[in-house]
Structure 1
C-alpha cells in the first residue's frame, strides 16, 4: 500500500508539473498567435499596395497596347495624339489632381513605416507556433498517460485495501471473543470511498451494549487493541513479536486469556514481552531480569524455566 501510495503521489506530482508546463506552452502559443496577427495586419496593407500597383501596371500596359493598336490600325499621327493627350491633361481641374494627391499621401501615411523584416518575422512566428503546438501535443499525451497511471494505481490500491480490510475485519471477529470470552466486534468504514474513509472500531463485550471503543473501560480498550493488533499481525506474521507491557491494565482473568492467545500463536512466531504480571511470567519459557545491585550498574539474570523445573524434580 505504501508503495502504491508513493507511486500515486509521484504520478500526481508529475501530472501537476505537466499541467503547469502545458499551460505555459499554451500562453506562449497565444502570445505568438497575437504576434502573428499583428504582423499579418502590418503586412496586409503592403500586400494590398502591391496588388493595387500590379493592377495599375496592368491597366497601363493595356492602355499602351490599345493606343499602339489604334496607331497601327488607324495610322494616326502619334505626335497629334500626344498633343491631344496633353491638352486633355491641361484641361483637367487642378483641384481634382490636388485631392487625388492628398488621398494617396494619406493612404501612404496610414500604412505606417514599412517593416522590411515583417515577412521573416512571420515565418519565424509560424515555425515557433508549430514547435510549441507539437510540445503541447506531447504534454497532453503525457498528461493522459499519467492520468491513466493514477487511475490504475487508485484501482489497484482500492482493491488491495479492500482485501486487507476484509481480512483484518474477519480476523478481528475471531480474536475479540477469544480475548473477551464472548461478544463480538467489527470494523466499520466511515465513508463511501475506501481510500479517503476512516475506520471505526465497534465492540460488543459480553453483557454490554454494542458501542464504540471509546466507551469501553481501560482494560477493555487494551483487550480490543490487542485483538486488532493480532488481527493485522496475522496478515503477514513475522518471526518475532515484541510486546511491551500490553497486559498492564488487565486483571488476572483477562491476562490468562491473553496468554492463551499468545501461546496459540507461538508456534509460528517467537514472542518477546516485557511484563510485571506473574500470570504472564508463568507463560514464558525463559525469563530475563535486570537488576541494579550497584548504582549505575545493571546486571542480567536469566532463568530457563524448563531447565529449572527439571532440576527441581530431580532434587
Structure 2
C-alpha cells in the first residue's frame, strides 16, 4: 500500500502526455539535425582525407621530380666539368701541335737520310745475297751430281745383287733339273758324262748342238697332227669373222649412241617447249579456278629435263606460296584439274574421263569447275565424260546417263539430253 501510494503520488506529479510528446518530438528533431550535421561533417572529413591523400601523392611526385631534376643538374654539372676539362686538354694539345710541322719536317729529313743509308745497306746486302745464292747454286749442283752418282752406285749395286740372286736361283734350278732328269747329284754329273776331273771340257756349241739334235729326235718320235694347217686356217677364218663382227658392233654402238644423243637433245628441246606451254596454261587456268592467286611448275632434282622431277607451287588468294601436298583437299583438286586441263590444251585428247573430281569441292568451286569445262569443250574437240553425284554438275551437262530400277532386280540404262529437254519444256510453256 505504501508503494502504491508512492506510485500514485509520482503519477500525479507527472506532467501531461501532450507536453511529453511535444518535448520528445523536439528532442527527436534536434537529434535528426545533429545526425545530418554529423553526416555532413563525416562527408567533409572524407573529402578532406581524399584531398590530403592526393596532396600527399602530389607532394611525393614533386619530391621525386625534384630529386630527378637535382640528379640531372648534377649530371649536367659533371658533363660541363668534363667538357671544360676536354677543352683544356684540346687547348694544350693544340699548343703542343703548333710546333708539330717543324718537328715533322726534321723527322722527315732524318728518315730520308736513314732511308738512303738503308738503301745503301740494302744494295750491299743484295750483292752479298747474290754471291751467296751463286755459291748455294754451285753447292746444290755439286750436291745434285753427288746424289746422282750415289743413286747410280745404288742402282748398280742393286743390279749386281739381282744378277747374283738370279744366278743363284738359276743354279738351284739347274741342280733341281739335274736331280729330276738324271736322278743324280750335281757333283756326279761329270762322272756320268765320263769326264775325268781336271780334263778339258768339250766345246760348248758342240754340246748344245748334240743336245738340240737329241731333242729334235725325241720330238719326232711324238704324235703328229696332220690337220694342223687346216685347223689354223679355220681358226684364222673364225678370228677374221669375229673381228669383222666386233668392228660392226662397235660401229653400230657408236651410231646408236649418236642416235640416242640426238633423240635426247630433241626430247629435251621438245620437253622444255611443252613445259613452258603447259606452265603458261596452268598459270591462267589456276587463276580462273581460284579467282586469283598464282601458281607455277618447276623442274627439280636434276639439271637434265629428262631426269628432273616436277614440283607444283600454288598460292591461292590470301595464302603464302606452298607445295601441292600442303593444300587442302579442295585446293588440291582444283590445282590438279588446272594441271590436267593445261596438258589437254597443249596436246588435246579425243576423250577425257573425270571420276568424282568435284567431290571435295563446295558449290562455289563446283560452278567454277563447270565454267572451265564449258570453256574446254568450246576451245578443244575433246569429249568429256563426267562421273559425279553433284546436282550442280549434272545440271550443267549436255547429256545425262544413269541407271534406274523400275522393277525390283531389273536395272535399266537411261539417257537424257538436257538441251532437248529444255527445248520441249519451252514448247510446252509456249
Aligned length: 222
Report the TM-score when normalising by structure 1.
0.62
Q: CA deviation at 1:102?
A: 4.2
Change (3 A) 1:279 1:109: farther
- As a proportion of its length, which structure holds more helix? 2
Q: How does 1:25-104 map to 2 (within 5 A)?
A: 96=202, 102-104=207-209
Give the secondary structure class of the aligned counterpart of 2:219: coil
Choose which of 411, 415, 418 in structure 2 pairs with 1:302: 415
RMSD: 2.8
Which shifted more, 151-160 or 179-188?
151-160
CA deviations over 1:24-62 (Å, ceiling 9, x no partner): xxxxxxxxxxxxxxxxxxxxxxxxxxxxxxxxxxxxxxx
Q: CA deviation at 1:205?
A: 0.7
Say which one has the larger Rg.
Answer: 2
Report the TM-score when normalising by structure 2.
0.47
2:353 aligned with 1:205? no
In structure 2, list runs of 5 or more residues that go unmatched: 1-198
Distance 1:306 1:132 in 2: 74
Which shifted more, 202-211 or 156-165?
156-165
Distance 1:305 1:185 in 2: 36
CA deviations over 1:173-207 (Å, ceiling 9, x no partner): 11111111111111111121111111111111111
Change (3 A) 1:137 1:255: same
Query: Where does residue 164 of structure 1 map in the other structure?
Result: 274
Choose which of 197, 219, 233 in structure 2 pairs with 1:113: 219
In structure 1, list runs of 5 or more residues that go unmatched: 1-92
Distance 2:269 2:356 in 1: 36
Change (3 A) 1:311 1:140: closer
Distance 1:305 1:130 in 2: 78
Query: Where does residue 384 of structure 2 map in the other structure?
Result: 271
2:196 aligned with 1:196? no
Change (3 A) 1:106 1:171: same
Distance 2:397 2:230 in 1: 90
Which shifted more, 248-257 or 285-294?
285-294
Q: How does 1:235-246 map to 2 (within 5 A)?
A: 235-246=346-357
Choose which of 404, 410, 421 in structure 2 pairs with 1:291: 404
Q: CA deviation at 1:124?
A: 5.8
Distance 1:300 1:121 in 2: 80
Query: Where does residue 250 of structure 1 map in the other structure?
Result: 361
Q: How does 1:105-184 map to 2 (within 5 A)?
A: 105-109=210-214, 113=219, 128-184=238-294
Choose which of 156, 178, 185 in structure 1 pairs with 2:295: 185
Give the secondary structure class of the aligned counterpart of 1:272: strand
